[in-house]
A = this chain, B = another copy of it.
Amino acid sequence: MGKAMTANGFQIGKPSSLPADELSRELLRLLAADPRRNASELARDLGVSAPTVRDRVRRLEEAGVIRGYRLDVDPAALGLPVAAWVRLRPGPGQMSRITELAERTPEVSECHRISGEDCFLIKVHVAELAALEGVLDRFLVHGQTTSSLIVSTPVPPRPLLP
């Protein structure tokens, strides 16, 4: 059950060899452009049958290449137009506290453990600037914070399929 290769012979995690079977790669590219396209349509574009496409997708899912499908909702439409990246430097023995707090804080949409002087990077969404204070206060109990408001997002999250 190695992670380097799937049951179908896809080579993954090996940059020097072909990173994935060519058909799967093209399939992933099409799905990245629109994850809701149905199998028949994809089959036409790829020059294979629809069942082949469905099998490929299922295998890519089972192999963990496709981790999932996400709905991208505008936070502003949910009443949370202000976003910030916050770096956290936990006090001694506060590491696990931080991850637990991030996990159960609804304003936190992601949390990364990083190297460097700060140990965590979290993304926070609030209704107005003043509401950031309350969130920061909760984390300040366990360490220092450095906040950066997100002014714009010139490159929104995009697929890594060049």
Interface residue ranges, A against B (CB under 8 Å): 3, 10, 12-15, 19-20, 28, 31-32, 34-36, 63-81, 84-85, 99, 102-103, 106-116, 118, 120-122, 125, 127-128, 146-162
Report whether A31 and B74 are in contact in the complex, using a CB–CB cutoff of 8 Å. Answer: no
Instruction: Select which of B12, B80, B99 is within 8 A of A77 by beta carbon.
Output: B12
Given contact pairs A80-B160, A112-B154, a sample of 14 additional A-B residue pairs in the complex whose CB atoms are under 8 Å apart: A15-B128, A34-B69, A35-B70, A35-B71, A65-B73, A66-B72, A68-B72, A69-B69, A106-B162, A110-B157, A112-B153, A113-B151, A113-B153, A114-B150
Is the pair B128, A112 in contact by a Cβ cutoff of 8 Å?
A: no
Q: Are A71's CB and B111's CB within 8 A?
A: no
Given contacts A71-B35, A73-B28, contact A85 B112 (CB under 8 A): yes
Chain B residues whose CB sits within 8 angstroms of the CB of A76 once the complex forms: 3, 12-13
- Tell me, in angstroms, the Cα distance from A16 to B5 when the chains sit together: 51
Please indicate the chain B residues that have their CB under 8 angstroms from the CB of A112 in the complex. Answer: 85, 150-154
Smallest distance from the beta carbon of A108 to chain B beta carbons, Å? 6
Tell me the bound Cα distance from A43 to B15 in angstroms: 44
* Most central of A116, A122, A128 by chain B CB within 10 Å: A116
14 A-B pairs (CB sep. < 8 Å): A12-B79, A28-B71, A28-B73, A65-B74, A65-B77, A66-B73, A67-B74, A68-B72, A78-B160, A85-B121, A102-B154, A103-B155, A109-B155, A120-B154
- Chain B contacts of A156 at CB under 8 A? 110
